[in-house]
Chain A
Amino acid sequence: MKTKISARDFSLILSLVAIWVFFAVASPQYLSARNLSALSVELAITATLALGMLLVILPGHIDLSVGSGVGLIGGIATVLVFNHHWPAPLAFLPAIAIALLIWFAQGTLIVRERIPAFIITLGGLLIFKGAFWLVINTHTVPVAPGGRPNLFSLLTTYYLPPLASYALIALVLLALITVTLRGRKRRASLGFEIDDPELAFLKLFLTAQALLLFVLCVDQFRGIPLPVLVLGVAALVIQVITRHTPFGRHLYAIGGNEEAAFVSGVPVQRVVIGAYTLLGGIVAITGLLQTAYAGASTTTVGDSMELDAIAACVIGGTSLRGGRGTVLGVIFGALIMASLLNGMTLLAVSPELKFIARGVVLTLAVWMDVKLAKR
C-alpha cells in the first residue's frame, strides 16, 4: 500500500516519545543498556501475545483467557521440569499440545454453539486460573531445578552475542531492502501507485536507524535477547499469514462483513477455529517465555496480560469490531504498553497505581477506537 501517515499515527509516536522522555527524566536508569535490554524482553513477550490476540480480534472476536492461559501453560511445563525431572524441551511439548487443544476447543464452542467469545473466554479465564493453581499446588515452582540453567531458563537469559547480533541485523536490513525494492517494482509494473522514491528511502533509512540503535544499545549489555528473536519470527509468520494467505484475507473479510464473507464462500467457522488454535500456540510460547522471565511459576504469572494484549492491539489501530488491524501497529502498541509498565516498575510505582494506569490507558485506547470507527 501507499504510505499514509495519519494524525493518529503521529499522535502515537508523540505519546511514545513523551513516555520515554518522562521516564528518562524521572529515572536515569530508564535509558541504560541493561534496562533497555529488559524492556525489549518485556516488549517481546507482550507483543507476541498481542499478535496472537490480533488473529481473533480481526474476525471480530476477543479472548480474555490468555492471561490465565499463560500462567497455566507455563505452570504445566515448570511442574514437569521441576517436580517430575523432565528435560525442558520434552516438557514444552505437552504444554504446547495442551494449549493448542484448549484453544481449539474454545474456538469450536464459540462458532459452533454460537456463544459469544466474551463469555466463553471469561469462563476460560477463571477455569484456567483455578487449574493453574491446582497444577502448581499454589506454590512457587522454579523453572530451573537447583538454579542450574536449562533450556527453559535460557529462554529469557540467552543473548545472541554482539557480533552475531550485528550480522543478524545486517541480514535483516538486506532482506528489508530487497523486499521493498521488489515490492515497488512489482506494484509499478502492475500499475499501482507507489511511494515517492524519497519517501521510500526515508522509511527504509529510519527503519535501519532504529534497528541499528537497538543493536547498539543491547550489545552494550549482552546482545539481542532471545525473546526478541522469538518476536521477530512470530511477527514475520503472522505478517505472512494475515497479508499473504487466503486464511488471513478471510480473517479480514469476516471482521468486515461476516454475512457477505459467508455468502462469498469463506469457510467462516473453520477460519475462526483456526485463528483460536493459532492463538493457543502463541499463548503456549508466551507462557513459557513469561514464566522463564519470572524465573518460577507463581500464582501471579500471567495476571492481566490479556488486558495488556488487547490494549496493545487497540492502541496499534486494531478495531474491536474486527476487520482492521496490522502486525506493525500491534507491535507499536505493545511498545507503548511495555515502555509504560517498565518505567513504572523502575520508579517502584505501587501495584495499585499500576492497575489504575493500565486501566486508564486501555480505556483511552478503546475510546480512540470508537471515535475512529464513527468517522
Chain B
Amino acid sequence: MSAVLEARAITKRFPGVIALREVSFDLRPGEIHALCGENGAGKSTLIKLLSGLHPHGSYEGELLLDNHSVQFRSIADAQRHGIAVIYQELALIPELSIAENLFLGCEPRRGLLIDWEKLYTDARIILARVGLELSPETPVGQLGVGQQQLVEIAKALGKKTRILILDEPTAALAEREVEILLALLRDLRARGIACIYISHKLDEVFAVADRITVLRDGATISTHPTATTSKTRVIRDMVGREIKDLFPRTVPPVGDVLLRVDHISAAASPSAPARLHDLSFTVRAGEVLGIGGLMGAGRTELIMHIFGAWGLRLNGQVMIAGRALPAATPVEALAAGLAVVSEDRKRYGLVLDRDIGFNLSLSSLLRLRRGLLVDEEAEVRANQKFFSSLRVKAPSLETVVGTLSGGNQQKVVIGKALMTGPRVVFLDEPTRGIDVGAKLEVYELINRLTAEGRAVVLVSSELPELMGMSDRILMLHEGGLGGEFTRAEATPEKLLAAALGRRLAAA
C-alpha cells in the first residue's frame, strides 16, 4: 500500500546538535502509526517538520504527500494540505464557547457579520462526529481536560483534515477519558483518516496503533506492525537496553518524623469554600509517601499549600523535623528544608529563556552568597555537580533551558530543588510526559534521596507508579482523606475505591 505521507532521509540540524539524521517514516492511509522514543529522540522535531513549523529549506531530505514531493512553508500551508497537529498544550480560548473555538479564524459569514445560526448548527454536527454530547454554547473553560482534547480534535476535523498528529494526547487525561479518545481514533481510522500517535504510554500504543516506529537519538531504530512486536522489544529499541524492573524501589531503614501535617484545612481565598478538609499525615526520614486521587482531588493544592504557594490556612499546622512551620511563603518553606518539584514545569518550574545554570541555582542564590554578591565559583561548582549527577543531556550549563527536551527540563527542575539541600522533597507528577529511560532515572533518584535520610512525598496519577515507588499511600477524595495504605495492603481496586470515596470491606 502506498503512503499518504512519507518522510525520506530527513536530516535536521540545530546549532551544535543534529536533531534528526536520515530519518525515514511513512504513514499509510487509514492507519494509526505510533511514534515512540525517549525525550530528545527527535519525535517533536519530526512532528514540527511534518506540520510546517520547521519550514522547507530548514532541513535536508524530502517530504511526500500522496507520492508527490511537497514543500511546506508554514503551519497554515501544511493545514491546507490536510495535516493538523494537536499538541500537549491545548490551544483553546477558555472564555469562548465550544462553537466559537471550533470556527475561530474561519467563522461562517453572511456579508460582514458572523452567521451565528450556521456556526452553531455546524458545530453541533462536528461535535457529534467526536461523540461529544454537549451544547456548542458551553464555554470551553467549563470542560474537563479530556473534553477539551476532543474539542481540539473536532476543530481539526472541521478543517478537512486527512492526517491527524497527536502529541502526547493522554498525558493529562483520566483513564475513562483515555478510552473515549482511543475509541474516537479507531472510529476516525475507519473513516480513512490517518493518524500519527505519539505517547509514552505503551499500553495505549499497543491498544490502538497499527504500526510502531521507534526513534532513538535522532535516528529511526525500527518500524514494526504492532501484531508482530512486543512491549519489551519496543522498550529495548527506545532505550537501547532492557528494563527488567520498572519500579526499582529499595526501602532503607526509616528514621524520625520529618514532616507532620496536623488537621490541615485550607481554601483558595477568604471567600472561597474550603478545598482541603482536615488532612493529617506524617512522613519519616527514608520514607516515600505516595499521594494519589482523581483529578481535582486536591493533591497539588495540598503540597503547594504546605509549601506556602497556594491558598489560605483555615486550620491546622505543619511541623518540619519537630518545628512548626507557620502558614509560610516558599522562601520560608525552602529555608525550613522543604522543596517542591512542580507538576507544570514550564509554568512553575523554569525560566525558559535563561540557561541551565541560571535555573539550577535560582532557589539557592541566597545561600550561595559571599557578602552581598553571588559567590560565582561556588555557584558554578554546585551547578556542575547537579548537571552531571542528574545526567542532563545538553552541551553545557549555558544552554538555554527552553531548547531542552521535556525529560532534561525536568532534571533541571529537580536539580534546582535538590540544590537547596531539602530534608523533605515533594515531587508532583515527576514523570509526567517523560520517557521510560528518564522515568527510571527519577525512580533511582527517589531511592538515593531516601537512602540519604530524606523524606519524599510523591504525587502521581498513575497507580502503578504510586504502588511501585511508595512505602505508604494516601488517597485523597474531594480534598479530604479517602484512605491510607501501606505498600503491602495496596491494590489498584482499594486505591481506586478510596479515591472515589468508598471503602471496600476490609481485606
Contact = CB atoms under 8 A, between A and B. Distances in A.
Interface of A: 1, 186, 190-193, 240, 244-246, 249-250, 252-253, 256-257, 259-267, 323-324
Nearest to B372: A245
A162 B372 CA distance: 35
B231 interface: no
A265 B354 contact: no
B359 to A, nearest CB: 8
A260 B350 contact: yes
Contacts of B307: 263
B309 A262 contact: yes
Nearest to B304: A263
A324 to B, nearest CB: 7
A275 to B, nearest CB: 16
B358 A249 contact: yes
B451 interface: no
Given A193-B398, A249-B374, A323 B351 contact: yes
Contacts, number: 81
Interface stretch (B142-150, B185-193, B360-368, B477-485): B360-368
A246 B378 CA distance: 13
B349 A263 contact: yes
B427 interface: no
Interface in B376-433: 376-377, 380, 384, 396-398, 416, 420
B330 A264 contact: yes
B198 to A, nearest CB: 26
B330 A262 contact: yes
A324 B114 CA distance: 41
What's the interface size class on B, roughly? 35 or more
Contact of B373 (A245, A263, A265): A245
A256 B353 contact: yes
A144 B347 CA distance: 55
B334 interface: yes
Contact of A265 (B349, B374, B420): B420
B338 to A, nearest CB: 10
A1 B377 CA distance: 15
Contacts of A261: 351, 362
Interface string B189-225: 0000000000000000000000000000000000000
25 contacts: A186-B377, A190-B384, A192-B396, A192-B397, A240-B373, A245-B372, A246-B369, A249-B358, A249-B362, A252-B354, A253-B362, A256-B354, A257-B347, A257-B351, A257-B352, A260-B347, A261-B362, A262-B330, A263-B307, A263-B330, A263-B349, A265-B363, A265-B420, A267-B331, A323-B351
* Residue among A190, A246, A261, A323 with max Cβ neighbours from chain B (10 Å): A246
Contacts of A246: 365-366, 368-369, 374
Contacts of B329: 267
